[in-house]
Amino acid sequence: MNVPQTVAQLNLDLGPKARTVIHAASKIFLTHGFNGATTDMIQREAGVSKSTVYAHFANKETLFLAVIQNECAMFTASIQDIEFTPGNINQSLRLLGHAYLNVILSDSALALYRIVVAEAPRFPSLGHMFYRSGPNVVKSMVATCLSHANNANEINLNDINEQEAAEVFIALMRSELHLYRLTHPDKPVEPSLQERWTEIAIMTFVRAYGVH
């Protein structure tokens, strides 16, 4: 797979037709994977001409990058408005945890993750861009929340910084449930299990870094 442009060079026209193409491409890529998807399939799904597709996206690779960016933006949107609430670190972490699990355990996020992991060895730029656009953005959001909590003396991070603390919390949240869903696509995680795991992760984190 050849990368025609770096992510920074992608200058996407996100007008109505381009958004229609991206929406159709997301459905095709997430259903069939990168190799199984074709521009003909995307064009038919979008209900536009092939020339319209190529007017906005030079080739399938560029369109795939645009889909990844768009999907990551939608995933992180549900988390970006969560703010630290002084006086209740558990509730702040609970809001973050629920929002994060709702994203990573969704069918679309799991499909995207599988595609990126499969293609990254041959297409490292895709993996890098996915990480920057998705996981790294979420990590920064969580780090900001933990920084406020640290400044309010609700947690004590000791010898680690906010970014590292965010990595610890995210790893606690993601761990078992994410692996289970990746390996059991036919078995959704029950809401009660998601609730229970969120509380376990919060309890573990607060025991380690909470102010007692």
Q: What is the pLDDT of residue 168?
A: 96
The residue extents of the domains of the chain are 11-58, 67-209
Same fold for the domain at 11-58 and the one at 67-209? no
Per-residue pLDDT of the chain (212 residues; tens, 9 = 90+): 433 333 333 444 468 888 899 999 999 999 998 889 999 999 999 999 888 888 888 888 889 889 988 888 888 887 877 877 788 889 999 999 999 999 999 999 999 999 999 989 988 988 998 999 899 999 999 999 999 999 999 999 988 999 999 999 999 999 999 999 999 999 999 999 999 999 999 999 999 998 87
Q: What angle do CA 73, 70, 162 make, to 5 degrees?
A: 25
Q: What is the pLDDT of residue 2?
A: 39
3-class SS string, the chain: CCCCCCHHHCCCCCCHHHHHHHHHHHHHHHHHHHHHCCHHHHHHHHCCCHHHHHHHCCCHHHHHHHHHHHHHHHHHHHHHCCCCCCCCHHHHHHHHHHHHHHHHCCHHHHHHHHHHHHHCCCCHHHHHHHHHHCHHHHHHHHHHHHHHHHHCCCECCCCCCHHHHHHHHHHHHHHHHHHHHHHCCCCCCCHHHHHHHHHHHHHHHHHHHECC
C-alpha–C-alpha distance, residues 42 and 78, integer Å: 27
Q: What is the pLDDT of residue 73?
A: 87
- Maximum separation of any 2 CA atoms in the chain, in Å: 63
Q: Which CATH superfamily includes the segment(s) 67-209?
A: Tetracycline Repressor, domain 2 (1.10.357.10)
C-alpha–C-alpha distance, residues 64 and 49, integer Å: 18
Q: What is the pLDDT of residue 93?
A: 93
Task: Show Cβ contacts of residue 6 under 8 Å, excluding neighbours closer than 6 positions.
Answer: 125
Q: What is the pLDDT of residue 12?
A: 47
Q: What's phi and psi for 35, nearest 5 deg?
A: -65, -35
Hey, what CATH class is 11-58 in?
mainly alpha
Q: What is the pLDDT of residue 14?
A: 67
pTM, whole model, 2 decimals?
0.83
C-alpha–C-alpha distance, residues 203 and 86, integer Å: 18
Q: What is the pLDDT of residue 125?
A: 85
